[in-house]
Structure 1
């Protein structure tokens, strides 16, 4: 959308367009500010993620009301009003898994910490806030990946060059595939070991490729969850 088109839309809506950008739009309604933004966030299963939300008109918790809503089912994820959390009506999927750092509210941050991400969490979330100084809305799309391609590092092991990768995500049944520049499957020449284990039985792993590794060659390490 061009800046000219946005200004035309603002005229039709009867508002004054203050600023535009690739992911945000800020409008003034009289004395109040209404901010809308959208972004995407990638996460891996069984990790903790922060859904960002920030408004410049939020200065403290007095007379502040804000909430996080999951768009596809229109249900409450988190709510704050009357200077305290209000979790009645919270969707059961998020019970005990979400929180907002009150110490950061005075800086305008209403970001939501979501713990132990699962595939069912993938959705668009809306953060809405209202104060005497303004109101705003911010949307974020959470995408839960069932695979990743971590960065490949070179090292020396037993006097030979090797390629290594470490998973960021957690997996119940991780499958590691190694490919070279020609997309030949070198996985049979690799090893996979557990780096960390969680109480729920999921793992972070690291893998080592030993097949005639050349430092000027391109290698791809792909880790997938085979038990999805």
Structure 2
């Protein structure tokens, strides 16, 4: 039978082994977390640009949490799959555009004041259909080097405007691409089949649409849904005695098979017009 002293000694040995195991486990978890962090990454790997408007391709690199990185120690190169020239290049404090593709001349820039904070995002002005494609953001910084991949897709979309004529409610949208489908719902969320939709496309396939719903009731709320595989616009139109107020929610797919990531709220009324941007992950 073990003595009291031997029992104390065994307990100490077990305690040492248990403590050592816990320390090793904590260190291994800490190391795995650090190694799992990407040096260069994108907050939005599947952005959707609106034709003719500006878009931002997200790219970030790791920095210290206590101090900024000197921009003169950072090199950033944006490239597009299928192009031999660069989209944009920044090398240790200097913009280098001698090898830039002509299609991006005067249309791209970095946020120079934010480079030292880890921001390597690219602003693309006046988005074109030809801008769609896979982009590579390569960064070399004191924290390391790496490349983020961004799949940029281009669509055309606009919030519809509503007009009330007698017992007919008409929704008109100036630009949609790819060609969307249009549906209407009543105040109870039931599909209304008494609608007529016309499309007018230009030489590059951008669609203007006009959809009419009749007969409608005064002091009711109707919903017009315009959507394609990239963008969905849900517009609610509240009909009063002689006016209409409306608001539109835009949602965008993160990829071909992903849920909605971004929502934009666009409000239109007879006396006011403003847009509010809200980002959420569902």
- Structure-1-length-normalised TM-score: 0.61
In structure 1, runs of 5+ residues without a counterpart are 1-15, 28-33, 193-202, 224-228
1:112 aligns with 2:118: no
In structure 2, runs of 5+ residues without a counterpart are 1-30, 186-190, 201-205, 229-282
Q: Which residue of 2 aligns with 1:180?
A: 184
Q: Encode CA deviations 1:58-88: one digit per residue, 9 max, x unaligned.
A: 7231221111011233531000114110011
Q: Is the 8 A contact 2:80 2:133 kept in 1?
A: yes
Q: Aligned pairs, how many?
A: 185
Change (3 A) 1:166 1:156: closer
The alpha-carbon deviation at position 40 of structure 1 amounts to: 0.1
Please list, as runs of the form range in 1=range in 2, the aligned pairs for 1:174-213 lying within 5 A after superposition.
178-181=182-185, 182=191, 184=193, 186-187=195-196, 209=212, 211-213=214-216
**3-state SS of paired residue (1:187):** strand
Distance 1:75 1:54 in 2: 22
Distance 2:85 2:32 in 1: 31
Q: Is the 8 A contact 1:26 1:36 kept in 2?
A: no
Higher helix share: 2
Distance 1:121 1:138 in 2: 17
Q: Which residue of 1 aligns with 2:91?
A: 81
Q: Encode CA deviations 1:170-192: one digit per residue, 9 max, x unaligned.
A: 88xx988743355747235x8x9
The alpha-carbon deviation at position 26 of structure 1 amounts to: 2.1
- Structure-2-length-normalised TM-score: 0.51
The alpha-carbon deviation at position 96 of structure 1 amounts to: 1.1
**3-state SS of paired residue (1:73):** coil
1:42 aligns with 2:48: yes
Q: RMSD of the TM alignment (CA)? A: 4.1
Q: Is the 8 A contact 1:179 1:187 kept in 2?
A: no
Change (3 A) 1:170 1:217: closer
1:26 aligns with 2:31: no
Q: Encode CA deviations 1:126-152: one digit per residue, 9 max, x unaligned.
A: 11111223223211111112x54x667
